[in-house]
Amino acid sequence: MEKLKIWFSSRPLGAYCAALGIVGAAVTGVAFVAVWGTAWGKDLFAPGAVLMTVALTAYIASRGVVSWQEQKKRDRESKEFERREKVYSEIATFMLQRFIATDRTPEEVKADRKTDAELRTHAALWASSGTVHMLAYWQSLLSDVDGSALTPMQSELLKQSFGRALVAMREDLAPNPDDHELPRNVILKSIFND
């Protein structure tokens, strides 16, 4: 009995439907032949038609049913994508605040640095190597100028680094390679006015 269970569980449902349909067609075929030669075959039409109908219905239903494991995997991937999107969005917001926030208190700056570090730590666990490298490069540039006024050259370096990090994060989030074609300068122009 155990071997039979293994055999059935390893076969796709479509194969069972096809086999059932073939049996139904054979029974109906025998009914046609028997009706032509004798009158007793008419009783086989109904069972043959039922078998073929059941086979067709089961096959159509099997095509639309998603297994529990597949649905669980899809749900897990969806939650992971939402988490990444949220973390990347918050990282980008903190990076942008470094450019525009000039009147913050030291306590606010310290709290933002802590949150920023926590977010980058989360991203470091699952982000692509390109994203991790871009975030590290951004942080190294920022640590060179943090707390002091930015020169135009430093500001441009930070903007370009910010753009590279955004492109890397977009590539992590976009499953379609066609979505990666947006140039860095277009992304930066959509954020900065200059």
In tens, the pLDDT along 29-39 reads 776 666 666 66
- Average pLDDT of the chain is 75
Q: What is the mean pLDDT of residues 160-181?
A: 80
Percent of the residues in the chain that have a pLDDT greater than 70, as a whole number: 69
In tens, the pLDDT along 15-28 reads 666 776 677 777 77
pLDDT grade, residue 8 (50/70/90)? very low
Q: What is the rounded (10 degree) CA torsion for 117, 119, 125, 129?
A: -80
In tens, the pLDDT along 32-86 reads 666 666 666 667 667 777 777 777 777 777 666 666 777 888 899 899 889 888 8
Q: Identify the pLDDT of residue 140.
A: 83
Name the residue ranges covered by the structural domains of the chain.
2-64, 68-191
Count of helix runs (H) and strand runs (E) in the chain: 8, 0
Helix axes 152-173, 68-100, angle to 10 degrees: 170
User: 49, exposed or middle or buried, with CB in 10 Å at 0-12, 13-18, 19+?
Assistant: middle
Q: Identify the pLDDT of residue 7.
A: 45
For residue 5, pLDDT beyond 80: no
